[in-house]
């Protein structure tokens, strides 16, 4: 009688292990594992925007710390602002297309 209980316990333990491990043993579904391919034009515009804004930030910092005087600041800030504005407008136009 004791041997029967040991066998029954072993069968129940084995069934519990299989039941718990079954989700981990299945092959994952690959239907939605892929990532969308990035748009090269979008990435280029984002990088251009980031470069222009970083240059503006650095120019502002250098002007505030006195490394760049007012005349040089005025000469440099205009083209940087135009570059940032044009990249932002291009991003908006690209977003409007999508």
Q: Residue 32: inside a domain, yes or no?
A: no
**Cα-Cα-Cα-Cα dihedral sign, residues 85, 88, 90, 96:** negative
> Tens digit of pLDDT for each residue in 40-64?
888 999 999 999 999 999 999 999 9
Q: Residue 98: inside a domain, yes or no?
A: yes
Q: Residue 86: inside a domain, yes or no?
A: yes
Answer for the pair 47, 64: CB distance below 8 angstroms, yes or no. no
Q: Residue 66, Cα to own-chain centre: how many angstroms? A: 36
Q: How much is the average pLDDT of 60-82? A: 93
Q: Residue 68: inside a domain, yes or no?
A: yes
Dist. CA 95–CA 98, nearest whole Å:
5
pTM summary value: 0.59
Q: Residue 30: inside a domain, yes or no?
A: no
Domain that holds residue 71: 38-98
Number of domains in the chain: 1
Sequence-distant (6+) residues with CB within 8 A of 42 are 91, 94
Q: Residue 19: inside a domain, yes or no?
A: no
Dist. CA 39–CA 59, nearest whole Å:
30
């Amino acid at each position: 009688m004791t041997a029967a209980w040991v066998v029954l316990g072993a069968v129940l333990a084995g069934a519990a292990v299989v039941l718990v491990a079954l989700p981990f043993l299945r092959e994952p579904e690959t239907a939605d594992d892929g990532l969308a391919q990035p748009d090269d034009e979008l990435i280029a515009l984002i990088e251009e925007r980031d470069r222009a804004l970083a240059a503006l930030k650095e120019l502002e910092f250098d002007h505030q710390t006195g490394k760049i005087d007012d005349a040089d600041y005025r000469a440099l800030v205009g083209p940087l602002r135009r570059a940032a504005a044009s990249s932002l407008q291009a991003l908006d136009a690209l977003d409007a297309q999508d």
